[in-house]
Structure 1
Amino acid sequence: MFQSEFTLDKQYFQECFDESVALSQHHKPKYGLISFLLILGALSHYLLGQAYLGNFLFVLAVIEGVSFYYRRPWWVARQMVSRASGSKVHLQIDEQGIKAKNPYRAFELSWQEIDNVIETDKGLLIEHAKYRQYISKQALEQDAYAFILQQAKK
């Protein structure tokens, strides 16, 4: 019924991350964990006299903060070194569901398997089981976009 093709490039991965992270549970830093590590580090260093343990816990807190700050470039870099990077994805949408295929992976979702379709500013986030798939508006015709939203409401 509807067919489309897009490339898994850096721009697509960045858009995918940006549109998905706001709806995930990882959109805020783990302030509690960082605070806990800093307090344990201070206790170890100053009260117990264990400078190595205290410094280790301080470094863990810093690493946790840095990992949150650089999570987007790290995720995009991991996707860019995957073998699927740069490959073309063939997308087919019909009455049975959504099928996507590239040379390295293929998936097929029936409309019954899709739990929810979330409309974002730049595309659709399709929730099924424990996973999410993102499809950019740029990869879809307006009719296909409307069809997916209509099927999701059923």
Structure 2
Amino acid sequence: AIACGIAAGRDYGSNTHAALISRGLAEITRLATTLGGRAETMMGLAGVGDLVLTCSNTKSRNYSYGLRRGSGKDHATAMAESAGVVEGVNNTAAVMALAERYGVEMPIVSAVNDLLHHGADLDSAIGALLSRPLKGEGGMWADQPLSADLSTDDRPA
């Protein structure tokens, strides 16, 4: 949701939004199944339903925080303007620790984590995602990188 907010704040278009949601679902499904969760759960309301809502609604604190960051506000300002706890800010580091421990590739979470906790430049974090090698999807749970060519997105000139 933070990544989708950042993309919206940077005026990336709906293709990027859809790619982040679908690849984000693949990332969280890989982690969940590695930890013993069921893929079917991730495809229901608790997974894709929650993901679509939180990645698309300005009432989502994580999405709204990302929107403010993508619009150029720094972390402190974006947090101060939040209407409550932005769970994703702290949870991102915890998710990355689990992913690293179990060897699960999570490039979107990694990029957001680098931005939030390791001082990565916003445009560098986005660039790292967009420059990943293109490969076939290989199925929802295959360990494949982003396969959409976002360089031709519908971002305004």
Normalising by structure 2, we get a TM-score of: 0.31
Normalising by structure 1, we get a TM-score of: 0.32
Q: Which structure shows the higher strand fraction? A: 1
Question: Which has the bigger relative contact order, CA under 8 A and spacing at least 6?
Answer: 2
